[in-house]
Chains A and B, each alone.
Chain A
Amino acid sequence: MLHIARWKATLIALTIVLAFIATIPNFFAAGTVASWPNWLPKSQVVLGLDLQGGAYLLYEIDRQDFMEQRLRTLTSDVRSAMLGSGDRIGYTGLGPQGQGVQLRVRELDRLDEVRQRLDELRNPIDSSLFSRGRIFEFDLAVTDDGLVRLTFTEEGLAERIRGIVQQSIEVIERRINELGTTEPSIQSQGDDRILVEAPGLGDPERLKALVGQTAQLTFHLVEQSIAATDVDRTAPTPGTIRFPSAEDPGLVYEVEDSPLMTGEDLTDANPAFSQNSNEPVVSFRLSTSGARKFADVTQANVGRRFAIVLDSEVVSAPVIREPILGGAGQISGSFTVESANDLAILLRAGALPAKLTIAEERTVGPGLGADSIRAGRAAAIIGTIAVAIYMIATYGFFGVIANLALLVNLILVFAVITILGATLTLPGIAGIVLTVGMAVDSNVLIYERIREEFKRGRTAITAIDVGFKRALGTIVDANITTMIAAVTLFMLGTGPIKGFAVTNMIGIVTTVFTAFTFTRLLIATWVAWRRPTTVAI
């Protein structure tokens, strides 16, 4: 029956009023809303990056780079293991090979001993509750002819990458917090990716520089400096490593490969100005153990140079004039005030455990964002008015009812978006406009059905009653299929496209809800009031 119980009618009206109240904060500026008393609704629609401007950056752990680094340390671990404590086992050809480290043992009768010594390097990893037994980072294979290989295990590598993702997220959070201007979201995605979404940022390049830089700082004693042109002519001395100079492209430093200190020994770093030249520098403080180490080394090496290496480039290579005992120092280089400041941030926040590359970037400037809001709003208003006029032209008085339902539907859509805290994007606005176009379909279905029933000779009131009931079934069926498509899109989509799926889904739900409640209430009320004898649809 069309008749709706009074309590139901009240409930429907109440829902609509509450929904309308929920949308109110959207009509005011964020600053105004913040000053409202707490009992008022305050949440506003969250605008997507494409509307407020901002950066969407998908970072990926550089696996290759990580593996190379890891194998390099493993190589030197193997070297010292083979050296034993004074009891060296002879071998040749030690070095990284594919996904592992390989060497050939000469003393074939001591293979068991080799196995024993290298077993420790397999590095068991504590992993999740679900795995049975222990996971090792490396597999050890020893053949009878003395070929020894330590290779990454699949689980071990995956576990390491997982750990790196978590660590990197923490580091990135610290760095961006230091920047202090935006409220970014940083989350892991897939196995080896990190998604950084930073809204409303004027200069995405600075953010990229801050987030993406590994910032691995090491201090090394310099063996010698060579001209870049001579690098290929000489082989590096064993136990050394070469880094190009950041300041002078013609210069390469050959330094001891084990660092004196790393960025982890730093407790603080700040931008400052050099007392001698008044140039921007970065001053740092060392931890107690770091300070002791540094004091010892500088004491023993007065007169030698040490290289300050940042991400495989020598920033500067000062001469140790006197022992540095206080645990504080300065890094000079060709810094600007901003780059000194950024480096200080990076050093304070710590190094990324592995190199990150940008796999996907989408940055929208504030200008385009504002334009998109304006365009989206204009399109929504014009689209809605056009549809409303068309409905009145076709259905007259019933068109007005349909338009009221449309208005309620839109209020509900905005209320749901506001309450859920869903992000509104430009495609999201398109989703709402599409909802406008398709929402009136439920009224069309109802009206056409009523017309039909009336033409078949039913009385006006029965026609309305039966027509309504039959049309509702169709409305549900039709909208569920649309919903299926929207849900898949939601699961597939990222960023703006997801916003489209969200408003589309919300629109479908509110459309069905409005048809079952509000439209029905309106028509029932009208029927009870006018007792129509004819259907003028």
Chain B
Amino acid sequence: MFKLRVVPDNTKLRFMRLRRFTFPVTSALVVASVIGFIFVEPDYGIDFRGGTLIEMRPLADDISVGSVRSTIGQFNLGDVQVQEVTDLVDDTSNILVRIELQPGGDEAQQVAVGQIRAGFGDSVEFRRVETVGPRVSSELASKGTIAMLVTLFAVLAYIWLRFEWQFAVGAVVATIHDVLLTLGFFVVAGLEFNLASIAAILTIVGYSLNDTVVVYDRIRENLRKFKKMHITELLDNSINEMLARTAMTSLTTLLALAALYIFGGTVIRSFIAAMMFGVVAGTYSSVFIAAPILIYFKLRPGDLSKADETRAVDTV
């Protein structure tokens, strides 16, 4: 029976050699992402910026992006974005309106929403109305940042406990790489950055670590088994041994996400897009960052403690 093999048996790619190329390129991309995120800024959604988001479905024929813009324009609500979103499957389209935070606190937002509801009356169906006031939006932003840092520290602690410190640092560096690149992706792809984006990033953190830990697991095993082998060769072997699994899991995850991207509707599309990017980044970083970085931390086969060795013997 024919079996699909993305990675042929006995693949021996020399990943560690590539690090002279991948490290500078990746570093440059990460720096570009950070600069882009801070200076160009992503399209912050109302969760962090405050303001109003309205999704409406036209019920009358004369409702279009242009007419919506001009109707809302008469209320003087400052920066208003009007955009048409089309469902990829059933081809229906809705109009998404975003209004900037109105000066004058929580109540001013409600006034704006009230004006728009009255302004359109029954000519549209209000599918979704979201308003976030100034106080809540700044809280959400700090909460998101805290969650990210807490996760990274918790993971650092866990991996330190289960592996050696070099692994912990390596995993966290690789994860930070994924997070920063994803931030850059938001800027480049023009995706809205909102609370769901934080959720996407935390999921990426989880996924990327999962991937990294699996590779590390094998590296640790080989370190115990081949005490004389040169570290570069050992890392290369470990990655190659796990390559089939790494590819397979990335692909099944991407398949599932692709289904969500295409069929899951417009509400979660950018959430899913970010996760898809993150899965690719996470897979890349496990192979090209998490593993080679161990060389720089001077990890040697002899570094594994005695206790670990006895445990390793036990499990054989």
Contacts and interface: CB of A to CB of B under 8 A. Distances in A.
Decide whether A and B are members of one complex: yes
B6 to A, nearest CB: 8
B263 A488 contact: no
A363 B257 CA distance: 26
B136 A58 contact: yes
B233 to A, nearest CB: 18
A386 B257 CA distance: 11
Interface stretch (B12-20, B66-74, B245-253, B299-307): B245-253
Contacts of B205: 485
A386 B262 CA distance: 13
B147 interface: yes
B263 A375 contact: yes
Sorting the interface of chain A by its residue count into under 10, 10 to 19, 20 to 34 or 35 or more gives 35 or more
A216 interface: no
A492 B198 contact: yes
B203 A489 contact: yes
B111 to A, nearest CB: 11
A470 B245 CA distance: 14
A474 B4 contact: no
A493 B285 CA distance: 27
Given A60-B135, A484-B158, A500-B199, A434 B125 contact: no
Contact of B195 (A379, A445, A477, A497): A497
B26 to A, nearest CB: 22
A448 interface: yes
A437 B213 contact: no
Size category, B interface: 35 or more
Contacts of B87: 371, 375
The winner among A368, A437, A455 for most chain B CB atoms within 10 A is: A437
A391 B217 CA distance: 24
Given A452-B241, A497-B196, A478 B213 contact: yes
Instruction: Report whether over half of chain B's contact residues are helix, strand or loop; otherwise say mixed.
Output: helix
Interface string A457-489: 000000000000110011001111111111011
Contacts of A58: 136
Interface string B187-216: 000000001101100110111011101100
Nearest to B212: A481
A437 B253 CA distance: 4
A427 interface: yes
A440 B128 contact: no
Contact of B268 (A430, A438, A441, A489): A430
Contact of A504 (B3, B125, B128, B203): B203
B128 A394 contact: no
A358 B125 CA distance: 22
Interface string B126-140: 111111110110000
Interface string A364-377: 11011001100110
A483 to B, nearest CB: 8
Contacts of A504: 203, 206
A387 B252 contact: yes
B255 interface: yes
7 contacts: A60-B133, A364-B127, A393-B3, A426-B267, A440-B252, A481-B206, A484-B151
- Ranked nearest first, the 3 interchain pairs of A and B with the lowest CB-CB distance are A437-B256, A383-B259, A485-B206
Interface of B: 1, 3-6, 9, 55, 57, 87, 89, 105-107, 109-110, 113-114, 117, 125-133, 135-136, 143-144, 146-147, 150-151, 154-155, 158-159, 162, 195-196, 198-199, 202-203, 205-207, 209-211, 213-214, 217-218, 241-242, 244-245, 248-249, 251-260, 262-265, 267-268, 271-272, 275, 315
